[in-house]
Amino acid sequence: MSLTTEHPAGTAAARPIPDAAEPYALFEAWFAEASAREPNDPNAVCLATASPDGWPSARMVLLKGRDERGFVFYTNEGSRKGGELLSNPRAALCFHWKSLRRQVRVQGEVERVTAAESDAYFASRSRGSRVAAAASDQSRPLAAREDYARRVAEIDALYPGDTVPRPGHWGGFRILPERVEFWQDMPYRMHDRLLFERDGDGWTTGRLYP
């Protein structure tokens, strides 16, 4: 029996990660496969932040932009994650596509996206989502859900048409990747890990033991 070719019962066949000079094309290929296979939200990703004194926190967000500049998501800047990103602008992402038995980890510094980018994305959301975002003091204490519903109704009445302006406290962040690691499940836990690390304008690459 060859441990490099034999698969345990119930384990889908897996391919080693191909060598690459940079991480973006590989991420796009994996993201396309995830979009075709994952039943819900292939762009869901775990975002990890930390307070200035080192307390970590993690939550799921939706990736809303990606290119060679970095990975973009949007949030209320008054939320816990928003406050931590503004005070300690470093973060990590972890994509987990269970149907493909794959994971991608991203680590880097964080910058705000431009106001124009935030305006454009906010305008693309459904009207109900824009109203709900404008009414929310995300992560702040809420005495009763009825209070939030009342604020939603007030914002809804204030902007009766389709135009609901982006609140000043709501915007986007871009993670500028310094490390990107691809992980592929393989038989008998002989998983494949390919790491990219920023080196000036380019990348160094290498494999890691699983």
Does 106 fall in a domain? yes
Query: Residue 200: which CATH number?
Result: 2.30.110.10
Please check whether residue 87 lies inside any domain of the structure: yes
Q: pLDDT tens across 77-96, in order?
A: 999 999 999 999 999 999 99
Return the closest-CA partner of residue 81 out of 105, 106, 55.
55
Q: Give the residue numbers spanning the domain of 36.
A: 24-123+169-208
Count of domains for the chain:
1
Containing H/E element for 81?
Answer: helix 80-87
pLDDT of residue 5: 47
What pLDDT does residue 13 have?
53
To the query of whether residue 174 is one of the catalytic residues in this protein, the response is no
3-class SS at 156?
Answer: helix
User: Which residues, 6 or more positions from 6, have their beta carbon under 8 angstroms from its beta carbon?
Assistant: 187, 188
Kindly state whether residue 68 falls inside one of the protein's structural domains. yes
Tell me if 51 is assigned to some domain: yes
pLDDT digits (tens, 9 = 90+) for 39-72: 899 999 999 999 999 999 999 999 999 999 999 9
> How far is CA 157 from its chain centroid?
33
- Selecting among 166, 189, 193, 207, the annotated active-site residue is 189
Expressed in angstroms, the distance from the first to the final Cα of the chain is 21
Output the pTM of the full model.
Answer: 0.90
User: For position 170, what pLDDT does the model report?
Assistant: 95
Residues recorded for the chain: 210
Query: What φ, ψ does residue 46 adopt, rounded to 5°?
Result: -80, 125
Distance in angstroms (rounded) separating the CA atoms of residues 184 and 193: 7
- Give the pLDDT of residue 147: 93
Residue 88 in domain = yes
Dihedral angle of Cα 130, 132, 137, 143, to the nearest 10 degrees: 180
Supply the DSSP string of 92-121, one letter for each residue. EEEEEEGGGTEEEEEEEEEEEPPHHHHHHH
Residue 41 lies in a domain: yes
Q: Average pLDDT of each block of 10 consecutive residues along the chain (210 residues)?
A: 46 79 97 94 98 97 96 96 97 96 98 97 96 92 94 94 92 98 96 98 97
